[in-house]
């Protein structure tokens, strides 16, 4: 995996399909901007109940998007990250439909989890309410299987049926996915919903010792196929730190809300404390296909968070205020497919469409140790798509705009987008980023400095006037200083 900036995108929302995405990534105006791309689920179907995260066939590329050869084509020029959805499959999958038709007589019966398979002796109210939930209600959906009414485990939606990852059928299924991705030339797999993958009676069934054991086993299998592993977990920051020691990469989901808190309050203290303890083997993000997480910075029981509960309340209200109420319309009970721990909004709108503040947030992201990933809407400094939200009623669609070629061309000329591209090329090419990073500053001051031999790159953060924040570069050509204002004003 190259030490550069990666793109996160759907195969059909920035370009029409996988061949189109390859053409965009290798076009002169984008060729040096990204060293890798996380292509969000391109499996069959890519447009199901959860935007591809409910595949009927995880080993088959949706023919409307392309083929495995197209994935391999992208992998020849860019590091490819692909999702492995370890927790569930679609209710429309051939295996589940066979279970519905034949019940226990189906050869696939052991693949899926039911209430009785997890709790053969029944469960008390206390046991059921202890299950960790990302959404309201209990994680069960009634289906008639073989003429018998059964409660199937559905962590996310009724269309996403949880599998028993310990069953031989599930193991063979998951390994077949790794085989397909390994053959395609992919560099890294992202374990989607890994925290929910193992159900253990009497526990929260979220990030338990059994979950960690499963992740260890899966990581070993991925490594055998030449694949690195990125784990997606929204949880207390100490959980991120724990999982980081077991895998190649873990998301730094604390960074996005901490940066917003810092820019809203003018106080870098909480962010600086996180930078002192965070794992370095992280994938950094500001925006993703999901919302802006807040659970990642909050307290858990007696364990303090990176922010206090009152600070999180102020943060969430700040996002609503900066987005002029759009995020409120897309978050929680206001929209379907809701998550209890995320606010749905583009990052650009969460900063009130302030180019300088946005570029500063992005600069901090690419200077923080780790591999930066940039969501396609964020790469174009995108606005909230209220029309799409209104059309689908799905909160996260506010940040899932479908771009036309004309929109991409027009947005690429905007100052925030041009300056971001310059920043990404700098991150990809300056030798200092192959070295070590140090963090300094107090109160409203913050600086991040990378040093590798004679090469040095330093970001000085100015929270009072973000446009006056500066990047100082030292190398063979001497020293030069760039302010964010100059980057935004450059034609």
Binding-site residue set for sucrose: 88, 190-192, 232, 289-290
Q: Is the pLDDT of residue 443 over 90?
A: no
1: pLDDT confidence band, cut at 50, 70 and 90? Answer: confident
Annotated binding residues, written as ranges, equal 50, 88, 190-192, 232, 289-290, 339-342, 396
The 10s digit of each residue's pLDDT in 132-159 is 988 888 999 999 999 999 999 999 999 9
Confidence tier at 478 by pLDDT (50, 70, 90): confident
For residue 297, count CB atoms less than 10 angstroms from its CB and return exposed for 0-12, middle for 13-18, buried for 19 or more.
Answer: buried
For residues 88 and 219, what is the distance between their CA atoms, to the nearest angstrom?
Answer: 18
Contacts of 452 (CB under 8 A, 6+ apart): 431, 432, 433, 434, 435, 436
Residue 293 has pLDDT above 70, yes or no: yes
Residues flagged as binding site for substrate: 50, 339-342, 396
* For residue 65, pLDDT beyond 70: yes
Average pLDDT for 435-441: 95
Catalytic annotation, pick one of 17, 79, 164, 192? 192
Structure-token pair, residue 44 = 């069959």
Query: For residue 340, what pLDDT is reported?
Result: 54
Please state, rounded to an integer, the average pLDDT across all residues of the chain: 94
Can you point out the beta strands (E) in 155-258? Answer: 160-162, 188-192, 228-231, 249-252
The single residue of 12, 162, 232, 349 carrying the catalytic annotation is 232
Give the mean model confidence (pLDDT) for residues 178-185.
96
Q: Going by C-beta distance under 8 Å and a sequence separation of 6 or more, which residues neighbour residue 41?
A: 51, 52, 53, 55, 83, 85
Mean pLDDT value of segment 267-285: 95
CATH of region 94-162: 3.90.400.10
Q: Could you tell me the CA-to-CA distances from 241 to 83, 228, 252 in Å, in that order? A: 22, 18, 9
**Active site (annotated) includes residue 232:** yes
Spatial distance between the Cα atoms of 153 and 149, rounded to a whole number of angstroms: 13
Q: Tell me the pLDDT tens digit for each residue of 113-130.
A: 999 999 999 999 999 999
Longest dimension (CA), the chain: 77
Tens digits of per-residue pLDDT, 296-350?
Answer: 999 988 999 999 999 999 999 999 999 999 999 998 765 443 445 789 999 999 9
Give percent of the chain above pLDDT 70. 98
- Mean per-residue pLDDT for 414-438? 97
Top mean-pLDDT range of 234-248, 327-341, 361-375 = 361-375
Section 45-57 average pLDDT: 86
The whole model's pTM is what? 0.94
Answer whether residue 17 shows pLDDT above 90. yes
Q: How far is CA 276 from CA 141, 272, 286, 374, 441, in A?
A: 43, 6, 19, 23, 12
* Sign of the dihedral defined by the CA atoms of residues 178, 183, 184, 186, in that order: positive
Please name the residues in contact with 163: beta carbons below 8 A apart, sequence gap of 6 or more.
87, 88, 89, 111, 112, 113, 170, 173
d(CA 232, CA 249): 9
Percent of the chain with pLDDT over 90: 87
What pLDDT does 336 receive? 44
CA pair distance 118, 155, nearest whole angstrom:
13
Catalytic, 349? Answer no
Range 264-289 average pLDDT: 95
**HSE value, Cβ hemisphere, 13 Å, CA-based, for 3:** 16
What is the predicted pLDDT for the residue at 49?
79
Higher local confidence (pLDDT), 235 or 372: 372
Find residue 84's DSSP bridge partners: 191
Tokens standing for 133?
């939930």
Cα separation, 260 vs 323, whole angstroms: 13
pLDDT for position 337: 39
pLDDT score of 334: 57
Collect all residues with Cβ–Cβ distance below 8 Å to 175 and sequence separation of at least 6. 221
Cα–Cα distance measured from residue 76 to residue 15, given in angstroms and rounded to the nearest whole number: 18
In angstroms, the CA 461 to CA 371 distance is: 20
CATH code of 6-84+168-433, in short, is 3.20.20.80
């Amino acid at each position: 995996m190259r030490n550069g900036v990666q793109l996160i995108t759907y195969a059909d929302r920035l370009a029409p399909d996988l061949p189109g995405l390859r053409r965009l990534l290798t076009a002169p105006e984008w060729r040096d901007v990204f060293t890798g791309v996380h292509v969000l689920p391109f499996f069959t179907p890519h447009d199901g109940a959860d935007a591809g995260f409910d595949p009927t066939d995880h080993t088959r590329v949706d023919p409307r998007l392309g083929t495995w050869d197209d994935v391999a084509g992208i992998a020849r020029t860019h590091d490819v990250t692909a999702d492995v959805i370890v927790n569930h499959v679609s209710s429309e999958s051939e295996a589940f439909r066979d279970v519905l038709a034949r019940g226990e007589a189906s050869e696939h019966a052991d693949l899926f989890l039911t209430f009785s398979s997890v709790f053969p002796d029944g469960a008390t109210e206390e046991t059921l309410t202890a299950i960790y939930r990302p959404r309201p209600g209990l994680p069960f959906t009634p289906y008639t299987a073989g003429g018998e009414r059964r409660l199937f485990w559905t962590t996310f939606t009724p269309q996403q049926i949880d599998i028993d990852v310990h069953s031989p059928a599930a193991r063979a299924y998951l390994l077949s996915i790794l085989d397909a991705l390994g053959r395609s030339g992919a560099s890294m797999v992202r374990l989607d919903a890994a925290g929910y993958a193992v159900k253990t009676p009497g526990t929260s069934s979220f990030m338990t010792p059994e979950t960690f054991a499963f992740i260890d086993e899966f990581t070993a299998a991925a490594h055998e196929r030449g694949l690195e592993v990125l784990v997606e977990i929204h949880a207390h920051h100490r959980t991120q730190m724990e999982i980081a020691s077991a895998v190649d990469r873990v998301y730094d989901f604390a960074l996005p809300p901490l940066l917003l808190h810092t820019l809203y309050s003018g106080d870098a203290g909480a962010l600086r404390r996180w930078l002192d303890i965070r794992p370095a083997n992280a994938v950094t993000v500001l925006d993703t296909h999901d919302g802006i997480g807040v659970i990642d910075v909050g307290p858990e029981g007696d364990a303090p968070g990176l922010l206090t509960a009152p600070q999180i309340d102020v943060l969430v209200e700040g996002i609503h205020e900066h987005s002029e109420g759009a995020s409120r319309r897309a978050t929680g009970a206001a929209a379907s497919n809701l998550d209890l721990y995320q606010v749905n909004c583009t990052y650009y709108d969460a900063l009130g469409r302030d180019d300088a503040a946005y570029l500063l947030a992005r600069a901090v992201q690419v200077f923080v140790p780790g591999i930066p990933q940039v969501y396609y809407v964020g790469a174009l400094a995108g606005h909230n798509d209220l029309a799409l939200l209104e059309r689908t009623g799905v909160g996260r669609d506010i940040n899932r705009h479908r771009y036309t070629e004309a929109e991409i061309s027009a947005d690429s000329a905007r100052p925030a987008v041009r300056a971001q591209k310059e920043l990404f090329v700098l991150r990809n090419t300056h030798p200092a980023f192959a070295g070590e990073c140090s963090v300094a500053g107090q109160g409203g001051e913050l600086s991040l400095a990378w040093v590798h031999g004679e090469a040095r790159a330093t970001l000085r953060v100015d929270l009072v006037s973000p446009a006056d924040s500066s990047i100082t570069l030292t190398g063979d050509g001497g020293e030069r200083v760039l302010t964010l204002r100059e980057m935004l004003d450059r034609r």
